[in-house]
Amino acid sequence: MTKQNTQYNLEDRTLEFAKKVVDLIKELPRNIANLELSSQVIRSAGSIGANYREANDSLGKKDFVMRLKISRKESKETYYWLQLITHSNSFLKESIDPLLDECSQLIRIFSSIINKTS
């Protein structure tokens, strides 16, 4: 698989992840805790793919690595918010666990690319 195919697959994967987070948010009961958690997790989940796409259009290696580090940071933040959502909505644990797993995989993927590029 060429680098170009890999980057587009990861672009698609991060987009699908963000869409699944949005779908999860639609399932949450409307209360003050969920409203705050929802806005935080949607921002961070969307930022993962947005920064990855920017990395693919980077101005150089240093810019590429910096954007990947931001994607990894946003992935870690998203993981944190998903854990809090699980705590507040334990009845959705089975829906959230696959998102936590995917988020964890994205963190490892970004870390691997950063290590190989740096």
3-state secondary structure the chain: CCHHHHHHHHHHHHHHHHHHHHHHHHHCCCCHHHHHHHHHHHHHHHHHHHHHHHHHCCCCHHHHHHHHHHHHHHHHHHHHHHHHHHHHCHHHHHHHHHHHHHHHHHHHHHHHHHHHHC
Can you give the pTM of this predicted structure? 0.91
Domain that includes residue 83, residue range: 3-117
pLDDT along the chain (118 residues), means of 10: 57 97 97 97 98 92 96 98 97 97 98 94
CA angle 10, 16, 18 (to 5 degrees): 105
The whole-number pLDDT of residue 8 equals: 55
Q: Give me the number of domains the chain comprises.
A: 1
CATH number of the CATH domain containing 54: 1.20.1440.60
Buried b (16+ CB within 10 A) or exposed e, 8-40: eebeebbbebbeebeebbeebeeeeebeebbeb
